[in-house]
């Protein structure tokens, strides 16, 4: 095995050490653990280099600025390695996995996010298998996109959702098939994998500006004042998580006027369903139609994580408002299923 893998260790449970105060990040500890494990020296494993970030972060502390650090790190080392692993805490892994596809333009190599629910240092853990399998996929399968591997599933990054805080199968892809199922073998669904860019112009990083975006989950009895405050300037975009196929309270004219006023002011308001599976169909019910008339646009079958990170990306491109709205409903990086 002559393949070389770059491991960006951002933090998270996988590399934590057990202390009297609980699990903690400890500089150098993950690399020490891997160095004494014979599995990582096996001839079937790729060679690897670990870049440990300073400081190591719990993923709850991740921000778009940290996404940029990861993207730039990959770009700076892109030509020297065959694939890339991003070790990451599970809490916001789906957000990072959703953002990186929009940031890494021209990607032709695998970038796989993974981590663990139990640290690598424990006798019984999921981190070992997650890391080994992710490394083998990155080294042996030319999947030119950002993925998330966890448990037995290889998921397109911007289709991933954390679904379980306690299970080894912590992530799923509710509205898109798995890119691979990993049991006794590793079975890649090649018909689903995104094609390589037509022209090999190298890797380029799109910077996400500090756009003022937010997410809000509707609930029965939501106050118009809460919505009004969220939509005050300088807000530029809102992911509105609605009921069912994209429904909201149609008999609340004040709330609808708040949405309409913001949309007319140039705020991009995208409708994503609260449901685990399914797509937004705003014309199916009068309650969804009312949101559309107020200027809310459909997020189709995007996850809330994908919609939010895509909004960050588009609002950083200095595009006209109508172009941002149109591209929110365009399949750019496999994040949504286009209507037939």
Give the tens place of pLDDT for each residue, 249-270.
Answer: 999 999 999 999 999 999 999 9
* Predicted confidence (pLDDT) at residue 340 exceeds the cutoff of 50: no
Residue labelled with tokens 């909201």 = 248
pLDDT in tens, 52-99: 999 999 999 999 999 999 999 999 999 999 999 999 999 999 999 999
* 20 annotated as ligand-binding: no
Around Cβ 166, how many Cβ atoms within 10 Å? Answer: 6
Residue labelled with tokens 């309650």 = 287
List, as own/partner pairs, every contact residues 217-220 make where C-beta atoms lie below 8 angstroms and the sequence separation is at least 24, other chains included: 217/241, 217/274, 218/242, 218/243, 218/248, 218/249, 218/274
Instruction: Report the mean per-residue pLDDT for the chain.
Output: 96
- pLDDT band (50, 70, 90) for residue 328: very high
- Last residue of a domain, which of 185, 205, 225? 205
Residue 302, classed as helix, strand or coil, is: coil
Same domain (yes/no): 272, 238:
yes
Cα–Cα distances (Å) from 124 to 1, 89, 116, 119, 164, in that order, read 28, 18, 11, 9, 19
* 211 annotated as ligand-binding: no
For residues 71 and 103, the answer to whether their CB atoms sit within 8 Å is yes
pLDDT in tens, 170-205: 999 999 999 999 999 999 999 999 999 877 778 999
Same domain (yes/no): 135, 25:
yes
Give me the pLDDT at residue 199, please.
75
- Last residue of a domain, which of 183, 205, 227? 205
Around Cβ 307, how many Cβ atoms within 10 Å? Answer: 27
Give me the pLDDT at residue 53, please.
98
Same domain (yes/no): 198, 245:
no
* Predicted confidence (pLDDT) at residue 300 exceeds the cutoff of 90: yes
Residue 35, classed as helix, strand or coil, is: helix
Same domain (yes/no): 20, 60:
yes
Q: Is residue 144 domain-resident?
A: yes
Give me the pLDDT at residue 82, please.
97
Give me the pLDDT at residue 79, please.
96
Same domain (yes/no): 51, 140:
yes
Residue labelled with tokens 């001839």 = 43
Q: Is residue 334 domain-resident?
A: no
Picking from 113, 101, 95, the residue whose alpha carbon sits closest to that of residue 144 is: 101
**What's the mean pLDDT in 114-136?**
97
Give me the pLDDT at residue 201, please.
78
Give me the pLDDT at residue 116, please.
98
Same domain (yes/no): 197, 236:
no
* Predicted confidence (pLDDT) at residue 282 exceeds the cutoff of 50: yes
% residues pLDDT > 70 (the chain): 99
Give me the pLDDT at residue 197, please.
83
Q: Regarding beta strands 104-105 and 204-205, do their DSSP bridges make them parallel or antiparallel, or are they unpaired?
A: antiparallel
* Rounded-to-integer distance, Cα 200 and Cα 189, Å: 24
Annotated catalytic residues are 13, 90
Same domain (yes/no): 142, 247:
no
Give me the pLDDT at residue 210, please.
77
% residues pLDDT > 90 (the chain): 92
Domain that holds residue 260: 213-328
CATH number at residue 234: 3.40.50.40
Q: How many domains does the chain have?
A: 2
**What's the mean pLDDT in 137-164?**
98
* Predicted confidence (pLDDT) at residue 312 exceeds the cutoff of 50: yes
Give me the pLDDT at residue 211, please.
80
* 82 annotated as ligand-binding: no
Same domain (yes/no): 99, 246:
no
CATH number at residue 165: 3.40.50.1170
Burial category of 89 from C-beta neighbours within 10 Å (exposed 0-12, middle 13-18, buried 19 and up): buried
Give me the pLDDT at residue 339, please.
67
- Last residue of a domain, which of 205, 222, 257? 205
pLDDT in tens, 127-142: 999 999 999 999 999 9
For residues 328 and 186, the answer to whether their CB atoms sit within 8 Å is no
* Predicted confidence (pLDDT) at residue 207 exceeds the cutoff of 80: yes
């Amino acid at each position: 095995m002559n393949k070389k893998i770059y491991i960006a260790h951002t933090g998270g449970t996988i590399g934590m050490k057990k202390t009297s105060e609980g699990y903690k990040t400890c500089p150098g500890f993950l690399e020490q653990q891997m160095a004494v494990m014979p599995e990582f020296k096996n001839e079937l494993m790729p060679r690897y280099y670990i870049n440990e970030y300073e400081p190591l972060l719990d993923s709850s502390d991740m921000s778009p600025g940290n996404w940029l650090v990861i993207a730039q790190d990959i770009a700076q080392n892109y030509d020297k390695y065959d694939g890339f692993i991003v070790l990451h805490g599970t809490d916001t892994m789906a957000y990072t996995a959703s953002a990186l596809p929009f940031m890494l333009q021209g990607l032709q190599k695998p970038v796989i996010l993974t981590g663990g629910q139990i640290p690598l240092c424990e006798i019984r853990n999921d981190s070992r298998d997650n890391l080994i399998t992710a490394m083998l996929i990155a080294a042996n399968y030319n999947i030119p996109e950002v993925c998330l591997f966890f448990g037995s599933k290889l998921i397109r990054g911007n289709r991933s959702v954390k679904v379980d805080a306690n299970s080894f199968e912590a992530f799923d892809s509710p509205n898109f098939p798995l890119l691979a199922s990993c049991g006794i073998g590793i079975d890649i669904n090649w018909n689903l994998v995104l094609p390589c860019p037509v022209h090999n112009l190298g890797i380029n990083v799109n910077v996400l500006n500090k756009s003022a975006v937010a997410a809000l989950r509707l609930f029965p009895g939501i106050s118009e004042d809460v919505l009004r405050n969220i939509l005050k300037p300088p807000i530029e975009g809102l992911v509105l998580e609605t009921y069912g196929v994209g429904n909201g309270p149609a008999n609340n004219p004040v709330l609808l006027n708040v949405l309409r006023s913001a949309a007319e002011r140039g705020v991009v308001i995208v409708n994503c369903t609260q449901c685990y599976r399914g797509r937004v169909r705003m014309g199916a019910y009068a309650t969804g139609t009312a949101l559309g008339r107020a200027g809310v646009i459909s997020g189709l079958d995007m996850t809330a994580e994908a919609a939010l990170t895509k909004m960050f990306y588009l609002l950083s491109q200095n595009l006209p408002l109508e172009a941002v709205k149109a591209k929110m409903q365009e399949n750019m990086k496999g994040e949504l299923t286009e209507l037939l």
